[in-house]
Every structure is written in C-alpha cells, then in structure tokens.
Structure 1
C-alpha cells in the first residue's frame, strides 16, 4: 500500500490479535506510519516470528501475550504495554474468534456462543477499560474497534460472530459518548470478507458472492483495510467519533 507519510509519528499504539492476518497488517502499517506498536496475541510462536520480522525491518514493535478470555491476562498485558511504551495513544481492538462459521442458529451450542461472546465482546470491553487511563492521559487517544460488515447485511450461518460484531458497533457508539470529554475518539472499521488465515474455512462460494456483489469486483486483502485503521488513529480523524466505516469494496453501502 502507499506510504502513509509518518501520520502516526510519536504515537504509541496497542494492536490486539496482531500475530497474523489483519492484525499483523494493521501493526505493520501503523509502525510504517511512525508509531511504536505493541503487538498482542495468544499465538505465542506466531507473535514471536512476526515481531522478529518487523524488527528486522527497523520498525518499532514489541510483543505481548494476551488471552482475551482471561481478565488477569488482559490487565497484565495493558499494564506492561503502558509501562514499556511510556503511555498509550491508540488501541486497535482486532482480536476475535469466529467459531460459528458454517453453522445455522440451531446448530450452535451454548459453550460455543459463550466462547465467542467472552472473547469478542467481554474481552474487547475489558482491554478497553484497562487502557482508558493511559488513553485519557494521552490527550489525543483513539480507539478503533474491528467490527465486520456481516451485521450490516445479515450474513447467514455465522450467528454468534455476527451478534458479537453487532455488539461492538453498539459499544463503539456508546463509548464514544462516554469518553468524548476526554478527547478520545472511538470508531469502528467494518471489513468485508478478507482473504487471511482466519477465513480459510470460508467456502469459495461465499468469496464469489462477495466479489460479485462488490462495486469494486476483486478479492479483498488485508492492506485494503489498513489505511482506514491508520486514518482512524491519526489527527486526520480527530473530529470523527462514534462512526462505523465499512471497508468492503461497496458490498454494503451505508
């Protein structure tokens, strides 16, 4: 993707779920834009390799283990990030599990539903709360929640995930009003179906449905989403909050 011209120079940003896929693309773009990036993930070996690769490129990145299902892990991660980076200016809530893909509502069980909600909704809420003091102290804090365009069109056979991402959209709007007085912006980016490791389970028919229905009729890749995330973290968006930006090539227009 084009150079982002140091839009985030001097910023300190935490990206969850940063070991691979979209999260790794976001962490890379944010670091290329001049920020120091804390990369957090539960996938320890993937995280180690990704941090090492970006470090070899001369980018300012650090790795942290994070299990969004574990409140203690969340608190430890947030505290370590703030201590090592000396504060925090941005939080990208990217980490999530899908788990319900390819199953109808009646095929879901309670344990699966609870797992998706625990990680995607409760985990996002808790890591956000853990970071809020540092984001307030920044004076220019930004929170970017990774939603999805699936709630915008009602994707079938993905109910737990769609419900969790719908919750993130609502949380984005409510929290934006709560923390606006602290000069913290809160926005959501809602990607369309993107070709990454986490979507390997998706049948080709669903990829064709997306591609054929887009105004921009091609496969969506991680770099297609990174610019929106960098924008939402930057000074270019300081008067934008509580918004949902669909990044899906025009599959959904809102």
Structure 2
C-alpha cells in the first residue's frame, strides 16, 4: 500500500523514464499524489499507456527507447510539449542483464548493452532535456544509481559498473548544468521489492536485510520521498550529491 507523500510538488512537470513498471511506476504514482504532472516514458507501451490512463489527466505516456538516440530526442520533446515544459527529470530506466554471472562468464555484448542503456541513455536523455529544464529556471534531475556500486556487489559487474558511472556523471552534469539553475543529484537505492528484482535469490534479500541498520525489506515508498524532495524548488542548493537510500546497508 502506497503512502500519501507529505512533500508537495503542485504543478511541477516531471518526466520519468522506465516508468511503466517497478520503481519507475512507483515514482509516477507518488508524483501524481504529490500534485505533479507526469510523463511516463518506456518501451513497454501497453503498460505505460494503461498506467497513464489510470492516473488520469495529470499523467501522459510517451514512448522512449534508451537505445535509440532519435527516440530519446523525440520522446523528451514530446514530454515537454505534453506538459508545457519540464521542471524535473528522473532518469530511472535501466537494465541489469548481467545478474548472476561472474566476470569470466559475462559476455561483451551484455556489457555493451548494459552500458548503452544505463550510461549512454542517461546522458542522452539529460542532454535532450537540458534546454527544457533550463527554461524552467528551477530544473531538477534525479539519477537513479544503485548501492551495488558502493559496496561492490559480486556477480553483477556490468550493472554495478554502469551505476558507478551514473554516480560520476551526476557530478559532472551538476557542474555543467548549474549555470542553468538546474540541479543534478543521484539516489542509490538498496535492493528494493519491485518486479525487476523478483529474479534475485532469497539469500541475497536476506543478506541485505541482515546488513541494514533498519532490518527490514526495502519497498518503493522508501525511495519515493527522497526523489520527491530532490525535485522540489526548495532543493535548489543541493546538487552533485549522492544519497544512498538503503536502510543503512551502506553509509557515507
């Protein structure tokens, strides 16, 4: 059951990538509940359209494929047109693909695909959104990283490396986009109970729970509040930062 956000984002216009399911869907729901208007973008067209219809007038669906530069540019521009501009972007879309494989078992094709989606895709979406966010005067970018990049999760090499790149890229983007009045921050969630983590063995879930300062399973609402805060106008002097949201499994 989703909690009603205490943070308000009334009339803020936000694009969320990979929002048709999982953590992205949770972001979209929380944003609408907080008063924002949202574009759900994904390659899962039927699910994205259904979610937008369910959320009502505050939500729109726009197809966007992170492997296709033309799709990215068209999708971001369509999102800005649908909302009358953009105040926020959550770069949530990502793939794992390498789960369970050792460094010796991992294929070059898998490595390249993970990097193309998770790193290049995040860069290209942000670049396409930059002029729209700059026009807002209070643009906010939230990149979804992962705490796997912080503690060095084994058998997840490509994914962990890609999320480490997203963290580093966040800092450079923050410096490049600061003059626009746009902030760029990253959140590093721990293992969260969503569709995308259903393949994860129970032993890994148990390992996380036992290692957390808050010893319970992590749910999407744990991440939503952090993302909503970073999208507010009031977070305008917070930029280039990494916020681990993992119950204290990894601490800065």
- Give me the whole-angstrom Cα distance separating, in 2, the residues matched to 1:4 and 1:234: 13
Quote the residue 2:84 is aligned against. Answer: 86
Mapping 1:218-233, distance limit 5 Å: 218-233=216-231
- Give me the whole-angstrom Cα distance separating, in 2, the residues matched to 1:173 and 1:6: 25
Deviating more after overlay: 231-240 vs 65-74? 231-240
RMSD of aligned residue pairs (Cα, Å) = 1.1
Match of 2:204 among 193, 203, 206: 206
- Give me the whole-angstrom Cα distance separating, in 2, the residues matched to 1:164 and 1:234: 27
Matched, 1:117 2:115: yes
C-alpha deviation, 1:46, in angstroms: 1.4
Matched, 1:245 2:246: no
Task: Kindly indicate whether the alpha-carbon contact (under 8 Å) linking 1:6 and 1:32 is maintained by their aligned counterparts in 2.
Answer: no
Task: Kindly indicate whether the alpha-carbon contact (under 8 Å) linking 1:6 and 1:34 is maintained by their aligned counterparts in 2.
Answer: no
Structure 1 length-normalised TM: 0.96
Quote the residue 2:169 is aligned against. Answer: 171
Mapping 1:40-79, distance limit 5 Å: 40-55=41-56, 60-79=58-77
Quote the residue 2:15 is aligned against. Answer: 14
Quote the residue 2:26 is aligned against. Answer: 25
Quote the residue 1:153 is aligned against. Answer: 151
Task: Kindly indicate whether the alpha-carbon contact (under 8 Å) linking 2:143 and 2:170 is maintained by their aligned counterparts in 1.
Answer: yes
Can you give the 5+ residue segments of structure 1 that lack an aligned partner in the other structure? Answer: none
Match of 1:189 among 177, 187, 195: 187
- Give me the whole-angstrom Cα distance separating, in 2, the residues matched to 1:84 and 1:208: 43
- Describe the superposition over 1:153-201 as per-residue Cα deviations: whole angstroms up to 9, x where unpaired: 0000000000000000001001101111111000001000001111111
Task: Kindly indicate whether the alpha-carbon contact (under 8 Å) linking 1:191 and 1:247 is maintained by their aligned counterparts in 2.
Answer: yes
- Give me the whole-angstrom Cα distance separating, in 2, the residues matched to 1:2 and 1:79: 31
- Give me the whole-angstrom Cα distance separating, in 2, the residues matched to 1:109 and 1:232: 36
- Give me the whole-angstrom Cα distance separating, in 2, the residues matched to 1:180 and 1:31: 27
- Give me the whole-angstrom Cα distance separating, in 1, the residues matched to 2:234 and 2:212: 27
How many aligned positions are there?
251
C-alpha deviation, 1:237, in angstroms: 1.5
Quote the residue 1:106 is aligned against. Answer: 104
Task: Kindly indicate whether the alpha-carbon contact (under 8 Å) linking 2:211 and 2:249 is maintained by their aligned counterparts in 1.
Answer: yes
Can you give the 5+ residue segments of structure 2 that lack an aligned partner in the other structure? Answer: none
- Give me the whole-angstrom Cα distance separating, in 2, the residues matched to 1:5 and 1:212: 29
SS in 2 for 1:195: coil
- Give me the whole-angstrom Cα distance separating, in 2, the residues matched to 1:52 and 1:34: 16
Task: Kindly indicate whether the alpha-carbon contact (under 8 Å) linking 2:3 and 2:221 is maintained by their aligned counterparts in 1.
Answer: no
